[in-house]
Amino acid sequence: MKTFLLQIYTPNGKYFDGYVEELLVATEEYVLGILPNHAPLVAKVIVSKLTIITANSKKKYAVSEGLLQVKKEEVTLLVDAIESKDEIDIERARRAKERATSRLANRVNIDIARAEKALIRANNRISVYEDE
Ligand code: ATP
């Protein structure tokens, strides 16, 4: 199988740097399946599940908002946060969900958009963690 170079950066630095066979990533418009020689593009990544397929593994990640850049032989992702399924602290995600849910239920003196985004991130982490 042909491969391409994938690099993933977060505000903490380089998270991933290696050759992969396929990347499944959700943008505002589509879930893209990126294979070698994909057409160049730049797109906004949404809070979602991301899948990296290499010769011997298929690994799932929870990803926060970011930017995807596809060049000829190289794909770069800049994301606010990314955790592989086994890096997700499920109790923390459940607590974040509870916090956001109760803020949204009370709706007094809160930043609704911020709480909604926190809830989406928490639900995404929970869903990636629980994914088969
Ligand atoms: P919390 O309220 O629990 O901090 P959050 O959605 O506000 O959640 P982020 O701002 O998205 O957190 O992420 C901050 C940092 O913490 C990132 O490095 C992210 O990877 C990490 N992180 C957040 N939640 C979890 C989790 N449940 N498990 C593992 N890492 C997490």
| Closest Cα to atom 7 of ligand 1 | 118
Question: From ligand 1's centre to the CA of 93, what distance in Å?
Answer: 8
Q: Assign domain 4-85 one CATH number from 3.40.50.1820, 3.30.300.30, 2.60.15.10, 1.20.120.1200.
A: 2.60.15.10
pTM of the model: 0.95
Q: Is the pLDDT of residue 109 over 80?
A: no
The predicted pLDDT at position 72 comes to 84
The predicted pLDDT at position 110 comes to 81
Topology adopted by domain 88-130: 1.20.5
Cα 17 to Cα 96: distance, rounded to the nearest angstrom? 29
Atom of ligand 1 nearest to the CA of 122: 6
Question: From ligand 1's centre to the CA of 12, what distance in Å?
Answer: 12
Question: From ligand 1's centre to the CA of 95, what distance in Å?
Answer: 11
What confidence tens digit (pLDDT) does each residue in 26-61 have?
999 999 999 999 999 999 999 999 999 999 999 999
Cα 81 to Cα 92: distance, rounded to the nearest angstrom? 15
Q: Tell me what percent of the residues of the chain surpass a pLDDT of 70.
A: 100
What confidence tens digit (pLDDT) does each residue in 72-99 have?
889 999 999 999 999 999 999 999 999 9
